[in-house]
Amino acid sequence: MTTELYDQETIYKRQLEAAAAFIIEHDDFLVVSHIQPDGDAASSTYVTGYMLKQLGKSFTLINEGAIPAKFDYLWGSELAINFSLQEVNRQFQNVITVDCADFSRIGKISTLFDERAELLNIDHHPTNDRFGTSHLIKEDAAATVQILYDLALELQISPTKEFGECIYTGLITDTGGFRYSSTSPRVMQIAASLLALGVQGAEIAEQVLERLTYAQIVVMQKALSTLAFSHNRQLAWLSVSLVDLEQTGASSEDLDGLVNYPRNVEGVEVGMLFKEKEPDVIKVSLRSAGKVDVARIAQSLGGGGHVRASGCTLNGTLEQAIMIMVQEVGKELR
């Protein structure tokens, strides 16, 4: 083991100990993930609640919007509050954020934080800006649930099938079904231990990776019709407008995975998906084959993420957003 690796593991171990102490010494927690939660964010929210319950702690799970219904099979899904539909009239002193690379990703839930709130930031994004009172961050973790698995061990929480389903779901979604380069030996060791608990990996994979709604198929058809290329077909993208969403009845949740289609075209180095969230507000998702660090590009535009998977939000029309991103990504493809 190199000195650098040893130092990283030592730092991580100390962060685990500090995070465990924070949880043990406090109570009445608010747990929140990022806006428009994906599988890792949803799973991290639920498994954090599960761990707090096992420790006899009180907690509230809240997200700015709805957590996708396809994760309703997980423990804790019935406990999550959709802040856009349900008013919460109180402030929280103790906060745990999961899978949030920066404070803005928390969204409107930050209005529920007491001005003296202590915040534990648990995340795996390399672009995390270390917001909060303390943080537990492991940049080479495949998913935030991988860190939470380690935290559960630190807290001496015995794993159960319910716990395992949350961890497995976060791992399988953030590794693309154990296909991405982040799928380390440690990830597979954890997954194997969860299967031994009775977690049905095949059923989870079908539920979150394969099954499509009618709206997803129809909006996919519209999105694929917008497929465009530039820079000798090294850059490809799709776009989805508000009109497309209205006509198909699709939601933002139904767009999950669409960005992989342009990225998977042979010869493409970067794939992008442009999603019109509201008039003149465009969410951009980026996926890299490895040659281009899309996290750096996204971060320069106010976003963030991973080297091969990141995103940002731009103000302007779809056409303007596409022009900006083609120019910025194109600088790396010359």
Each residue's pLDDT, cut to its tens digit, for the chain (334 residues) gives: 556 666 888 999 999 999 999 999 999 999 999 999 999 999 999 999 999 999 999 999 999 999 999 999 999 999 999 999 999 999 999 999 999 999 999 999 999 999 999 999 999 999 999 999 999 999 999 999 999 999 999 999 999 999 999 999 999 999 999 999 999 999 999 999 999 999 999 999 999 999 999 999 999 999 999 999 999 999 999 999 999 999 999 998 899 899 999 999 999 999 999 999 999 999 999 999 999 999 999 999 999 999 999 999 999 999 999 999 999 999 999 7
- CB atoms inside a 10 Å sphere around CB 324: 16
| Alpha-carbon torsion (261, 265, 271, 276), positive or negative | negative
Q: Which residues of 12-33 are buried (b: 16+ CB within 10 A; e: fewer)?
A: beebbeebbebbeeeeebbbbb
CA separation for the pair 314, 334 (Å, rounded)? 24
In the block, tokens 């991580």 appear at 12
Output the pLDDT for position 152: 99
Domains of the chain, first to last: 3-209 (3.90.1640.10), 214-330 (3.10.310.30)
In the block, tokens 């709206």 appear at 215
Output the pLDDT for position 217: 96
| Alpha-carbon torsion (186, 188, 192, 194), positive or negative | positive
* CA neighbor of 166 nearest in space, from 141, 191, 185: 191
Exposed (0-12), middle (13-18) or buried (19+): which is 146, by Cβ within 10 Å?
Answer: buried
**Greatest Cα pair distance in the chain:** 58
Question: Phi/psi zone of residue 62: left (φ > 0), alpha (ψ -120 to 50 degrees), beta?
Answer: beta
CA separation for the pair 167, 98 (Å, rounded)? 13
Q: How far is CA 296 from the centre of its chain?
A: 17
Output the pLDDT for position 7: 87
| Alpha-carbon torsion (19, 21, 23, 26), positive or negative | negative
Output the pLDDT for position 252: 87
Question: Phi/psi zone of residue 23: left (φ > 0), alpha (ψ -120 to 50 degrees), beta?
Answer: alpha
Output the pLDDT for position 127: 93
